[in-house]
Amino acid sequence: MPTKYYIIYIQIVFFLHLRYGQAQVLYDFTAEPGNGELTVKEGETITITNQSIGGGWIEARNSHGETGLVPEEYVEVSVCVSQSCVPMLCSIVAVTAMDDDEWDDEWDDTRSSACYAEVDLEAAEEGATNRTEVQGPTRKITLNKFPGFSKSGPELYLLAKMLPKGKEKISMGEVGPVWLYPEVQMECLVADPKKGSKMYGLKSYIEYQVTPSTTNRPVNHRYKHFDWLYERLLEKYGSAIPIPSLPDKQVTGRFDEDFIKLRMERLQSWMSRMCRHPIVSNSEVLQLFLNHQDEKDWKLGKRKAEKDETVGVMIFSQIEAEAPELGLDEVERKCESFSRFTKAMDDKVKDLLAVGHDHWKRCTGPLPKQYQKIAKAFQNLSTVFSSSGYQGESTLTDALTATGKTYEEIATIISEQPKKDLHFLVETNLEYKGILGCFPETITVHKAAIDKLKDADKLVATNKISPHDKPVMAKRVSNMSYALQAEMNHFHSNRIHDYNRVMQFYLEEQVKLYETIAGKLRAALQQYTTL
Amino acid sequence: MPTKYYIIYIQIVFFLHLRYGQAQVLYDFTAEPGNGELTVKEGETITITNQSIGGGWIEARNSHGETGLVPEEYVEVSVCVSQSCVPMLCSIVAVTAMDDDEWDDEWDDTRSSACYAEVDLEAAEEGATNRTEVQGPTRKITLNKFPGFSKSGPELYLLAKMLPKGKEKISMGEVGPVWLYPEVQMECLVADPKKGSKMYGLKSYIEYQVTPSTTNRPVNHRYKHFDWLYERLLEKYGSAIPIPSLPDKQVTGRFDEDFIKLRMERLQSWMSRMCRHPIVSNSEVLQLFLNHQDEKDWKLGKRKAEKDETVGVMIFSQIEAEAPELGLDEVERKCESFSRFTKAMDDKVKDLLAVGHDHWKRCTGPLPKQYQKIAKAFQNLSTVFSSSGYQGESTLTDALTATGKTYEEIATIISEQPKKDLHFLVETNLEYKGILGCFPETITVHKAAIDKLKDADKLVATNKISPHDKPVMAKRVSNMSYALQAEMNHFHSNRIHDYNRVMQFYLEEQVKLYETIAGKLRAALQQYTTL
């Protein structure tokens, strides 16, 4: 499903690009004479005439009709949608709706991220700038879910003018750079799924009760609210912190009990992970999600969050390492090793998942069947024996029947075991697969920054940047590296904790399993007359 | 293999029939005038002119050249082989030799049962009658291994003239008719297989040491000696007592250690079963096999055994039940129920064997592979983790490695388990499959006797038997029924004992298996840092 959803999303975006090639200039760019470049000013709106120039350049026309090349990283593709195209957008939405109720559901009141026309209106009401309206689509494009479309490079941060002092501090712990952890770690409980409905019961949905340990006051949220939270966190922190996807959307059986149970369990793990993260747990948007007072409070908070401009790479502007600047090669070495590790772990986690899947199938399929056959064979023998008409038969036949029953029980025990232990092992590894899936993008951003720094001299020489930009870039790349290291250390400590826990749980359950089976067989054995 | 060997045997027999259609008259038959029958006298030699008359009749010519029909049950097909045909026989033997050394081996000095010409000579020396010489082939034909060829019906016994008092007594036990069991049950140990050779090492074979508990004096025997014993016991007792086949002959790898071990084990079970049988253990031929003093003693004993005339149905003449004569319907009812039971048990034993075979394959194939994969997955994860460069990693990585090792061990344990327990369960059931395979023939003989008794009036009316034969037949059918019942009771008590033992053994081993696995997993669990 999600793939389809994205594909259709991209379609929308494409269609918008083709029809409205508008772009916002993010910061000043002075054309180099004789290079066919176009000088633009921050805030200016230009029309893209050719997006497929390549080499990081696009062709654009300014309001005066002048055309020339502009670095694509210096502009943000924008979409100004008139009422006229709303029906068409909705029709596209309708397409998705056909295969995913809930996705349709997602749209029904998240106007700001979906139905641009309304944003227009609201935006107007709230006197929002043009930029606000277009965040929906553009941000979607910058999400690391489709790297191919990433339009915002590290320059946004590396070359940003005067930044406020970062509020997220990184200190040096014994394992190296570490985030500042709160005294008490926030937890939250996702529980008590309830079926709700709206539009006079035409639309129904599941609502979960989310209770943060901080307030102990429950708030109700639907899957789509979690999804909204996910999108916000991804936008805001995705470049620095892996924000794993939510459990997949589901086309059918959304009200099936097992599905609800599994989804709740996964939402719980996801929320716990977010709450366990010192930066994320501290974020306004998560606080809003957990602590909003009422519907109005929630809606207002949503709007505010959606207007947050410190997203993408700009998150690094809020991070500050209290440590000496790192040399480029040190930065590169760290980046390489993290890249290697996360890639390697990703492979092994996937292997483990494949093995786990196999084992699950065997334990719920052939293996219990085998034990049922054994059971049947013993029981049939017992039946024949009892027909012998020979006296003094009963002890043996009773024992054989009991043995048969025992093997039937063993078959059941074995087939139900994976739900008990393998499930948790698989879920944990699925979670890590999700987290590890976020690193490539984080590392790409990081490498892009490193490359930019390497190009600094060339950029200065070609007047792309001013000479005093270079040390600033170097400082900020170092800062990014501290952020990456802090995040890796956070990842490692969580990983060690999580795998310790899951392995212990799995082994405990396996020990119980084999002891139970041994016990049952011993009981069956005692039924025979000792010779 | 055995099939092939029988086929070729049958070829020999056929060829002999075609070339020398000689037959011995077993007892007087008076032709009914005008029926085209031929009057013959016991001991007379006749030539079979047409064997395919059907309806239990053959066409024969007597020494005076008179031709007519004779009941086929009244004659025994005989073979008088002249020197001339010996080469041809040997060439046939050579054919078999090509695919079975040992079978070839079987022949190399068992002249009396193989190389008729020599029998001729020896027979002559020993002044044996024509009848002696022909026992080899004719007996072979009467073996229940090829029911199609069975020429000796129950009449042989039912209508036999004056019989000596049977030495094998049947008394009434609490379970019904039972054999007379000896005070002490003989046991014998088959052990210490040694490679021997003859013909200056051109022929080599395996010799087993067989030690009966009675004398505690070991004798050496080759497989072919066991096979000879089997043939004798089958001939002599086959109609009344199931004599299971020996472990199959083997074409290749006869000197392979595992094969020798398995064959010895199976010879042991077979010998134990023979020794455990009150009638068989008491037999001259078994005593000879276990207690002969030297080679000469052995050879002489063999000749004597091969000349034993109380074989086939005549064994019933040696059995005497000290109990009131049984009515025909009682006899029939018993026969039916035994037939039903043995058939049903045969089916279930075969099912159990199929399941056992499946389980064996799974336990030595997919299952350990699965556990090896799990082991590898954990070990690989451990390897990646240890490459993290994060400190405080080692406890987890060591524990993960240990867990991996544990699952490797479990894989090995599981794949070696079948040899420990399933093997015995399978072997016992194979043994019972063998025994149960003998009952159909026993029951066929029994039913044939019942049918003959039912036909008695008709036979009297048509002068096939004299009126006073009928009560004799009834008495003997009753005697046969007592024998069958005694044997069934013997079978049942053995069965209960054997299955009790094998099931206990299997379950004990299974309990150990699961406890061992649980123990190993518990040890692995303890390696993790408790949270």
What amino acid is encoded at B254 in this protein? Answer: R
- The residue of chain A nearest to residue B492, with distances taken between CA atoms, is A390
Instruction: Please return the burial class of B492, using the count of CB atoms within 10 Å of its CB with bins 0-12, 13-18 and 19+.
Output: buried
Phi, psi of A222 (to 5 degrees): -95, 165
The pLDDT score that the predictor gives to residue B247 is 83
Q: What is the mean pLDDT of the segment spanning A375-393?
A: 95
CA-based nearest distance A395→chain B, Å: 9
Question: Average pLDDT of A386-400?
Answer: 93
How far off is chain A from B526, nearest CA to CA, in Å? 8
Q: Do B175 and A370 touch (CB under 8 A)?
A: no
Residues of chain B contacting A356 with CB distance shorter than 8 Å: 377
Alpha-carbon dihedral sign for residues A461, A464, A466, A467: negative
- Among the residue ranges A20-24, A301-305, B53-57, B358-362, the one predicted with the least confidence is B53-57
Contact (CB, 8 A) for B454 and B158 = no
Burial zone of A14 (CB within 10 Å; 0-12 exposed, 13-18 middle, 19+ buried): exposed
Q: Is the ipTM of this complex over 0.85?
A: no
d(Cα A277, Cα A185) in Å, to the nearest integer? 9
pLDDT higher at B228 or A27? B228
What is residue A253's predicted lDDT score, i.e. its pLDDT?
62
Q: pLDDT tens digits for B297-314? A: 999 999 999 999 888 999
Q: Is there a contact between B389 and A510 if contact means CB atoms under 8 Å apart?
A: no
- Residues in CB range of B5: below 8 A, 6 or more apart: B96, B100, B103, B249
Asked if B522 lies within 8 A of A503 by C-beta distance, the reply is: no
Residue B249 is predicted with a pLDDT of 64
- CA distance to partner chain A, nearest, from residue B345 (Å): 6
Q: What is the 3-state secondary structure (H, E, C) of A39-99?
A: CECCCCEEEEEEEEEECCEEEEECCCCCEEEEEHHHEEEECCCCHHHHHHHHHHHHHHHHH
CA distance A222 to chain B (A): 33
Contact A511 B525 (CB under 8 A): yes
pLDDT given at position A104:
36
Rounded to an integer, the average pLDDT of A438-452 is 94
Count the neighbouring beta carbons within 10 Å of the beta carbon of residue B189: 16
Residues of chain A with C-beta less than 8 angstroms from the C-beta of B395 = 500
Which of B358, B373, B503 is closest, CB to CB, to A528?
A: B503
Alpha-carbon distance of A16 to A134, in angstroms, equals: 11
pLDDT at A220: 95
Partnered with residue A37 across adjacent β-strands are A69
SS (H, E, C) A202-259: CEEEEEEEEEECCCCCCEEEEHHHHHHHHHHHHHHHCCCCCCCCCCCCCCCCCCCHHH
Task: Look at residue B204 in the predicted model and tell me its pLDDT.
Answer: 84
The verdict on a CB contact (< 8 Å) between B359 and A374 is yes
Give the residue with greater pLDDT, A304 vs B76: A304
What is the reported pLDDT for B34?
63
* Other Cβ atoms closer than 10 A to A124: 10
CB contact under 8 A, B524 and A507: yes
State the angle between helix axes of B394-420 and A469-525 in degrees (0 to 180), rounded to the nearest 10. 30
Q: Which residue stretches of B387-438 are H helix?
A: 394-420, 422-436
3-state class of B274 per DSSP? helix
Q: Which of B349, B395, B489 sits opposite A390 (nearest CB)?
A: B489
Chain B residues touching residue A390 (CB < 8 angstroms): 175, 488-489, 492-493, 496
B224 labeled binding residue? yes
DSSP states along B470-500: HHHHHHHHHHHHHHHHHHHHHHHHHHHHHHH
Q: Are A116 and A84 in contact (CB under 8 A)?
A: no
Q: Can you give the pLDDT at residue B289?
A: 97
Contact between A359 and B344 using a beta-carbon 8 Å cutoff: no
Of A310-314, A416-420, B41-45, B455-459, the one with minimum mean pLDDT is: B41-45
Give residue B503's region: left, alpha or beta (phi > 0; psi -120 to 50).
alpha
- Name the most confidently modeled range: A95-104, A106-115, A522-531, B399-408: B399-408
Query: What share of chain A has pLDDT > 90, as a percent?
Result: 58
B268: helix, coil or strand? Answer: helix
| Mean of per-residue pLDDT scores for chain A | 81
Neighbours of A404 (CB within 10 A): 22
CA quadruple B341, B346, B348, B353: dihedral, nearest 10: 160
Question: Is the separation of the CB atoms in A182 and A278 below 8 Å?
Answer: yes
Whether B366 and A362 lie within 8 Å, measured CB to CB: yes
Q: Which residue of A has its CA nearest to B410?
A: A514
Instruction: Show the tokens assigned to B179.
Output: 């054999």
DSSP conformation class of B162: S
Nearest-by-Cβ selection for B518 from A376, A500, A518 = A518
Asked if the model's pLDDT at residue A4 lies above 60, the reply is: no
The answer to the question of whether A222 is labelled as a binding residue is yes
- The vertex-A374 CA angle with A373 and A380, nearest 5°, equals 85
Residues B372/B411, Cβ–Cβ less than 8 Å: yes
Q: Do A515 and B510 touch (CB under 8 A)?
A: no
Residues of A within 8 A of B503 (CB-CB) are 399-400, 403, 528
Q: Is B495 annotated as a binding residue?
A: no
Residue A190 three-state SS: strand
pLDDT surpassing 90 at residue A374? yes
At A55 the pLDDT is 58
Task: For residue B297, count other CB atoms closer than 10 A to its CB.
Answer: 12
Kindly report the nearest CA distance between residue B178 and chain A, in angstroms: 12
Whole-angstrom distance, CA of residue B421 vs CA of residue B442: 33
CA distance A410 to chain B (A): 12
* Closest CA–CA distance from residue B311 to any residue of chain A (Å): 29
Given a cut of 60, whether residue A87 has pLDDT beyond it is: no
Average pLDDT in the A487-496 region? 96
User: H/E element holding B306?
Assistant: helix B295-307
Check B389 against A508: CB less than 8 A apart: no
pLDDT of residue B65: 85
Which residues from A are below 8 Å from B521, CB to CB?
A: 507, 510-511, 514
Contact B344 A387 (CB under 8 A): yes
Residue A100 has pLDDT above 80, yes or no: no
Mean pLDDT of A47-54: 76
Pick from A380, A370, A377, A378: which is nearest to A415 by CA?
A: A370
Question: Average of pLDDT values for A168-183?
Answer: 91
Q: What residues in B contact A439, CB-CB < 8 Å? A: none
Q: What sign results for the dihedral spanned by CA atoms A456, A461, A463, A464?
A: negative
CA distance B182 to chain A (A): 20
Q: In terms of Cα–Cα distance, which of A122, A121, A92 is closest to A107? A: A92
Nearest Cα residue in chain B from A351: B377
Q: Which residue positions in chain B have pLDDT lower than 50?
A: 1-20, 79-151
pLDDT for residue A150 is more than 50 = no
Residues counted in chain A:
531
Are B525 and A515 a contacting pair at CB < 8 A? no
* pLDDT score, position A396: 96
Backbone dihedral angles phi then psi of residue B314, each to the nearest 5 degrees: -65, -15
CB B278 within 8 A of CB B493: no
**Which residues from chain A sit within 8 angstroms of residue B348, using beta carbons?**
377, 380-381, 383-384
Which residue would you say has higher pLDDT here, B158 or A520? A520
Tally: H helices and E strands in chain A: 17, 11
Q: Contact B374/A359, CB-based, under 8 Å?
A: yes
Euclidean distance between CA atoms A339 and A361, whole angstroms: 33
What is d(CA A74, CA A152) in angstroms, rounded to the nearest whole number? 9
Among B343, B351, B385, B413, pick the best mutation site for testing chain A contact (most A Cβ within 10 A).
B385
Q: Which residue in B360, B507, B531 has the most chain A C-beta atoms within 10 A of its own C-beta, making it the best mutation to test that interface? A: B507
Q: Please, which residues have CB within 8 angstroms of residue B361's CB and are 6 or more apart in sequence?
A: none
Q: Which of B400, B528, B530, B531 to mutate to test the interface with A (most CBs of A within 10 A)?
A: B528
Task: Tell me how far apart the alpha carbons of residues B415 and B413 are, in angstroms, rounded to a whole number.
Answer: 6
Residue pairs between chains A and B whose CB atoms are closer than 8 Å: 185
Mean pLDDT of A19-43: 76
